[in-house]
Structure 1
């Protein structure tokens, strides 16, 4: 019997060691910094940056065709790999990389279709493309001829501004595409001007005044295009001043597919309504527990007024941070690298930044929104009430650990070549 128990104990030890060894091996494979797809992805990132750096005119047909060729070439290289024989980590890289390449081609197609619809608003585009292209290799320029070309562009732009004032059909999507295209063309002319002006005597004689006038007109035109889409929109202003660009059901489906979310818009709305109803029930439960019955607004007011005095928010934040990390460790929910706890700095948001971000921001550092002595009283109270300890509790660990700070930490150390993201990260 003792012999049997001894053998059983030995077997158990072997199994434990084997399991531990397997777990370590799996972890090692999981965090390997290379895969069969790795080199392709690194080369693609470098090539993509090079092309974007050289072909600087956004929305231009030349840039679009070059990017299209790049993505088609890498899809062809990816297809040469035998997916079925790749290990799991490499398959993940393969799927994500292919998803990215296919989506980039789709977006280029969208760009091409929208560009085709706005060509009437860009009659000078081909002229500017022809001016900018030889500049890349420092070709000699006919300064007098270029001045005449800019004069024509000025006439065209003035005519377009008059035409635009009467337009009632330009959508937000197309007006944004047209506006960014004009801005890009404006940038191309600036690139040419900065390259030759002062270095080429003839250029410096003929171009300063024509360029200055053209640049000013293009800037006015680009802003007018952006404003026209909003003016033509049938959306009602909700007071925020933010006018969106509805993309429609088909585009939503495309984006859901890209994010690997297997639901229709209708199903997501149904889920959202269900979850929101649950939140409302929980809100009332908390409200009643606080002694306010169903008057949740009164309960919320009490919570808002639990804010800490000015100057004490950093200490309150540290208290919340320590509570969250202690909870994670006590319940063994996460292994936290010691350096990740050590290497995040704390900073205060300026009053100017608080106008856009009146709460916490974070990632590689924690940015705290709390009032300064230069802010108006109403703004001070809003910052303090909106960042009370109860509202801040979830925000602190969302921004630090196990949230964005830890995400940055891990992303910078494991599979760093995966330059993918989502609207959620």
Structure 2
């Protein structure tokens, strides 16, 4: 993937260069909005522009729904280019600080989308030999989308051709004539699943409505659908190492150093991948020293892993986890209200919900998940005895105490509640450095206060999570640099942090097999460090109180932390602004 992102970057540099010249000239010559302009004819505001673009993209995604369609890629490319040109026609200097931040957020969003669109188009070339029938399916589905007249006999022939092409590729795989990487095979399996769904929708549109369509197309469609349904598990098992009812191989797609740098720039992070790895190592050393201190208090000397093992035995008996988590959720909310650290709207507490996590989800999310509600992880009756014990140990009382407020209040629950109600147009710019950074930031704040994690067991519980976030930075970045395999990532979580092997595998599987971006795992600690350093800067200068700072962040909504710093400190911005904040020494 690295070469694809690099190719995308190079291909777009030339268009960006010519665009920048046009953008700059347009920005200089654009007239500021006249105060006498009737409100009904007033130019589009930046928040409204962002809301429109969000809805535009949703509409385009529904209409141009076939991901491998050349027409889809061309239409989106044109849209991003047109919106960038229109954005740079605005008078930046006449904008308020909030609008300038919105300008830069939208600029980064559109450029990033353009780069990834090109990269996606290039990556589709890798799987073409597995999906030679994609063009036929795309043509049928786009004709149905446009409600073009169809020739039923020709449709029947196309469906028959699809079945034959699938069979030919299937035979090539079974006879080992087709070799492809696991990553490409995994992508191909998802693409074929998507194409099968589109073909089903195509058939359903005409079936029974047009009797001659049924006469010609019913049988060849069934054959094509059956061929596709048998083709998907073959790709998954034979080429991607996936097996029904099992977890299979962990599959990921390293993007390379240049692509990581592009992503860091889009996230307004001034540091290199290697510098972030060093940050994580230094943070880990601090955690290890604190672990040893707590270990001594518990009578284990400096053998902190033995102390950690003893803490893991403090788990809740079966049937009591939900009640325990409810108590922890209330504790976190009460603590921030009692100490006047952040505003907690009563409704955010009143309508908070809880559910239990399914065994299937626990394979990729072995701990709590939160947001609108909290999902509680705990063994189920049908798990093996060994797995039950590992899951119970991995969700013990002291690990849970450092997790519940992260997931709910003042963490994810409070932030998502506020994001729906304040500057909601910025939800388009969701970033892990803001979302995960905010939740982990409270772990730093509570630790720094010294009156929340008071017992050595609780300190070990929260230090475990901080070490876990250090390891996440290291293993995720090294994986994308091509320096670590998924198995080495699992071993690191077990050996460095003290994970149960089942929970370590779930964490790595979620990191690389899911829909997380390459910097998502780094976002936890890096975002938290950014926010904690900005908090120190704000409080030292007396710019805001602690509660005012935390409320301001929530009301600003999602954005890179450097842009929030510029917003809250009213720093100078310009259309070509690039990250420059050195938040960690």
Give the corresponding residue for 1:190: 200
CA distance in structure 1 between the partners assigned to 2:360 and 2:133 by the alignment: 39
SS at match of 2:378: coil
C-alpha contact (below 8 Å) 2:172/2:178 kept by paired residues: no
Match of 1:41 in 2: 50
Unaligned regions of 5+ residues in structure 1, if any? 1-34, 232-238
Deviation at 1:229, TM superposition (A): 5.5
1:64-95 Cα distance to aligned partner (Å, 9 max, x none): 11111121221122112111221111111111
Q: In structure 2, what is the equivalent of residue 65 of structure 1?
A: 74
Which residue is 2:255 aligned to?
Answer: 247
User: In structure 2, do the counterparts of structure 1 residues 53 and 171 end up closer, same or farther at CA, with 3 Å as the change threshold?
Assistant: same
Alignment size in residue pairs: 385
> What SS does the corresponding residue of 2:425 show, helix, strand or coil?
coil
**What's the offset of the Cα at 1:172?**
4.1
Aligned equivalent of 1:32: none
- Please list every run of 5 or more consecutive structure 2 residues that lacks an aligned counterpart in the other structure: 1-43, 242-246, 436-585
Deviation per CA, 1:354-402, whole angstroms, max 9, x where unpaired?
4443322211122222345565544443343322221111101101111
CA contact (8 A) 2:183 2:252 kept: no
In the alignment, the residues of structure 1 paired with residue 239 and residue 262 of structure 2 have an alpha-carbon distance, to the nearest angstrom, of 24
Helix, strand or coil: the match of 1:308?
A: coil
TM-score by length of 2: 0.61
For the 8 Å contact 1:36–1:86, the answer to whether it is kept is no
Is 239-248 or 257-266 further displaced after alignment?
239-248
Counterpart of 1:321? Answer: 329
> Is 243-252 or 330-339 further displaced after alignment?
330-339
- Which digits, 9 at most, give the CA deviation of each residue in 1:211-255, with x for residues without a partner? 111122223334444556546xxxxxxx97312122111111122
Change (3 A) 1:189 1:299: same
Q: Which residue in the other structure is 1:404 paired with?
A: 412
C-alpha contact (below 8 Å) 2:186/2:236 kept by paired residues: yes
Offset, 1:37: 0.5
CA contact (8 A) 1:358 1:383 kept: yes
1:346 aligned onto 2:375: no
Q: C-alpha offsets along residues 249-299 of structure 1, whole Å, 9 cap, x if unaligned?
A: 111112222222211111111222222222222222211111011333332
Q: Greater Rg, structure 1 or structure 2?
A: 1
Q: 1:125 aligns with which of 134, 140, 162?
A: 134
Question: Structure 1 residues 318, 114: closer, same or farther in 2, change over 3 A?
Answer: closer
Structure 1 CA distance, aligned partners of 2:197 and 2:141?
10
Superposition RMSD on alpha carbons, in Å?
Answer: 2.7
TM-score, normalising length: structure 1:
0.82
Residue number in structure 2 paired with 1:205: 215
- Residue in 2 that maps onto 1:145: 154
Cα distance, 1:348–1:185 mapped onto 2, change above 3 Å: closer
Conservation of the 8 A alpha-carbon contact between 2:183 and 2:251: no
Where relative contact order (Cα < 8 A, 6+ residues apart) is larger, the structure is 2
1:160-239 aligned within 5 A: 160-165=169-174, 166=176, 170-226=180-236, 230=240
Retained in 1: the 8 A contact 2:369–2:376? yes
Q: Provide the secondary structure at the position in 2 that maps to 1:301.
A: helix
Alignment equivalent of 1:294, drawn from 302, 305, 316: 302
1:290/1:91 Cα in 2 relative to 1: closer, same or farther (>3 Å)?
same
Name the residue aligned to 1:23: none
